[in-house]
Structure 1
Amino acid sequence: MIPDLGNYAVEVMSAYVLSILLLVAIVAVSLRRGRKVRGQLVKIEARKESANV
């Protein structure tokens, strides 16, 4: 079920692959940053709770 892309098959397929790779990279960076920020928030909340005791 591959569409007939004619003379531009290489260009179109490489654009698809590049787009997918960029999307995967953006999601990976976002997830990594989210974990880092969540960890920092936990540390800040722990310091705040220990200061209030």
Structure 2
Amino acid sequence: MTHAFYVYSAYGFAAFVTIAVTLWIWADGRARQKELAALEASGIRRRSARKKDGE
């Protein structure tokens, strides 16, 4: 095993993990947005969207 093989393998693995985590976060964000849209369509609202009694 050469030094170059080790270095390129390490960079390749790091790139793979970075891309995999990025795609996972992107897909999860889309799923949560769809879930939130379904909840809001059914009448469930966010607490932060509620108006205060005095307003």
- TM-score band, normalised by the shorter chain? 0.7 to 0.9
Answer 1 or 2: higher relative contact order, Cα 8 Å, separation at least 6: 1
Q: How many residues align?
A: 43
Cα-Cα RMSD: 1.2
| Higher relative helix content | 1
* Percent of aligned positions that are identical: 26
- Deviant stretches of 4+, over 2 Å: none
TM-score (norm 1): 0.76
TM-score (norm 2): 0.73
Structure 2, unaligned runs of 5 or more: 45-55
Structure 1, unaligned runs of 5 or more: 1-6
